[in-house]
Amino acid sequence: MAVLDIRNLIYWYRTRRGAVHAVDNISFKLEQGETIAVVGESGCGKTSTANAILRLLPKNVERYEGEIWFDGQDIMALGNEDFRKQVRWKGISMVLQGALNALNPTVRAGAQVAEPLIVHYDVDRDEAMEQAIAAMKRVGLPQDIARRYPHELSGGMKQRVVIAMALILKPKVVILDEPTSALDVMTQTNIINLLKEMKAAEGLSYIFITHDLGLASDLADHVAIMYAGEIDEIGPADHVFVHPKHPYTGRLLASVPRLRSEDAPEFIPGAPPDLTRPPPGCRFHLRCPVAFEKCGWVAEEFVDRLRLLQATTQGKEGFPRFSEVEARGTQMVVLRADSDSPETLAASFSEFVKSGRETNPFLKSVRSVDAKTKAVAVTLHEGAPPPLIGEEWRAACWLVQEATAHDTIPA
């Protein structure tokens, strides 16, 4: 049985600009003793997912829904006090992102490691300190570290203190939120090795949050690729990393620099979308090199792209000569020309769409081009968000649906 089963988790923030869809309907499972890596560019909602699991909410929560089954119980249904007593740290602990700041600067390291024991088990202070020192020893920290203040420790030592603190109650699940991103490479490796050891020794399950694919492939049994608050692809690490199904995963992998490879790393063009207004259809379609009709283009995006193209290819042969372009509703774009008649413009635009489809995926969204009395109406295909398809290994991309209707795990 899965130790943690997250179903349809939704977690939005309320801001003045609108709701931030930081976690938008996410589901995944974590098996006992396994590690699932949650990978994605920064700002895609990884930390929010972690905080949502531990119910560490700020004041500005807009929506917080879904089921989180932990140890056979839906912990979303627990009251706050029960949740605090049963889940936090005892069941699920966490190494916070920016863990180096997670230590109280005015309290000695040992006391901080010991604190959960006092809070949850009412252990007396000396006893707790003893256990803390033991726990610190297990993560490779000498005894005298316990008496030091955080500012007297190096980054690597602090990280070990934080890990000792996370493990002190022997939780079933540990969430590691970018546990190594502030460390140098050598320390990083040490910490990763430590995490592996601890997992083996204590039978832990990890949710390993990172934007570093290399680390993820090193540590994870399963991976979940997140993009703009959603999971795009999830499955066994060796499959996802070797034969990515989702174009985003592919681009992500291609962007990792490799030591023994001729290929230069390719960066993904564009920036992750604003989560207050996630793109309709497939959230990746604005940056997807293979996007097509179904991916959910809307008139506004189309107009933006067209204007951009007009600005960069100004006056080139074959570029339709329109003077105005504007969106009408979500699926219609209107073009006007000063010199050409609507018919001429419609013809040249159709021609342009046909020839430019491959280089500019957004043109694929054109369904029809009609000349009206004064202008040309371009109608776009309706799109929809692609569902996560598959069993063991799932991806949310319309291409995946067409190519592989069933779960394929290559041998």
Ligand X SMILES: Nc1ncnc2c1ncn2[C@@H]1O[C@H](COP(=O)(O)OP(=O)(O)O)[C@@H](O)[C@H]1O
In the complex, the residues that contact Mg ion under the rule CB under 5 A are: 47, 97
Minimum CB–partner distance for residue 52 and ligand X (Å): 9
Decide the pairing of beta strands 205-210 and 173-177. parallel
Among residue numbers 282 through 341, which ones bind ligand SF4 (CB under 6 A)? 282, 284-285, 288, 290-291, 295
- 207 belongs to the binding site for ligand X (CB under 6 A): no
291 binds, among ligand X, ligand SF4, other proteins, none (CB under 5 to 8 A by kind): ligand SF4
- Segment interacting with ligand SF4, rule: CB under 6 A, options 45-53, 195-203, 260-268, 392-400: 392-400
| Contact between 27 and 6 (Cβ < 8 Å) | yes
> Can you list the alpha helix ranges (DSSP code H) found in 224-336?
237-242, 247-254, 299-312
The number of residues that bind ligand SF4 (CB under 6 A) is 14
Q: Which is nearer to ligand X, 92 or 306 (CB)?
A: 92
151 binds, among ligand X, other proteins, ligand SF4, none (CB under 5 to 8 A by kind): other proteins
Give the list of residues 6+ apart from residue 292 with CB closer than 8 angstroms, or none.
361, 364, 365, 398, 399
Q: How far apart are CA 180 and CA 191, in angstroms?
A: 7
Among residue numbers 82 through 141, which ones bind other proteins (CB under 8 A)? 84-85, 87-90, 93-94, 96, 98-99, 101-106, 115-116, 119-120
- 13 belongs to the binding site for ligand X (CB under 6 A): yes
- 275 belongs to the binding site for ligand X (CB under 6 A): yes
- 342 belongs to the binding site for ligand X (CB under 6 A): no
| Contact between 349 and 335 (Cβ < 8 Å) | yes
Minimum CB–partner distance for residue 399 and ligand SF4 (Å): 5
- 152 belongs to the binding site for other proteins (CB under 8 A): yes
Q: Residue 216: in which H helix or E strand, if any?
A: helix 213-219
- 19 belongs to the binding site for other proteins (CB under 8 A): no
Q: How far apart are CA 251 and CA 247, in angstroms?
A: 6
Q: How far is CA 92 from CA 11, 67, 206, in A?
A: 19, 16, 10
Among residue numbers 159 through 188, which ones bind other proteins (CB under 8 A)? 165
Binding ligand X (rule: CB under 6 A), the pick from 8, 32, 60, 104 is 60
Give the list of residues 6+ apart from residue 201 with CB closer than 8 angstroms, or none.
138
- Segment interacting with ligand X, rule: CB under 6 A, options 44-52, 68-76, 77-85, 234-242: 44-52
- Segment interacting with ligand SF4, rule: CB under 6 A, options 260-268, 279-287, 310-318, 334-342: 279-287
HSE at residue 327, side-chain half, CA atoms within 13 A, is 15
Longest dimension (CA), the chain: 88
Give the list of residues 6+ apart from residue 378 with CB closer than 8 angstroms, or none.
302, 332, 333, 334, 335, 349, 366, 368, 369, 370
- Segment interacting with other proteins, rule: CB under 8 A, options 50-58, 299-307, 324-332, 376-384: 50-58
- Type of residue numbered 30: L
Query: Tokens 């319309």 — which residue?
Result: 398
Q: How far apart are CA 254 and CA 231, in angstroms?
A: 19
User: DSSP assignment, residue 139?
Assistant: T
- Residues binding other proteins (CB under 8 A): 13-16, 47, 54, 56, 58-60, 84-85, 87-90, 93-94, 96, 98-99, 101-106, 115-116, 119-120, 149, 151-152, 165
Q: Which residues bind ligand X (CB under 6 A)?
A: 13, 15, 20, 22, 40, 42-48, 58, 60, 275
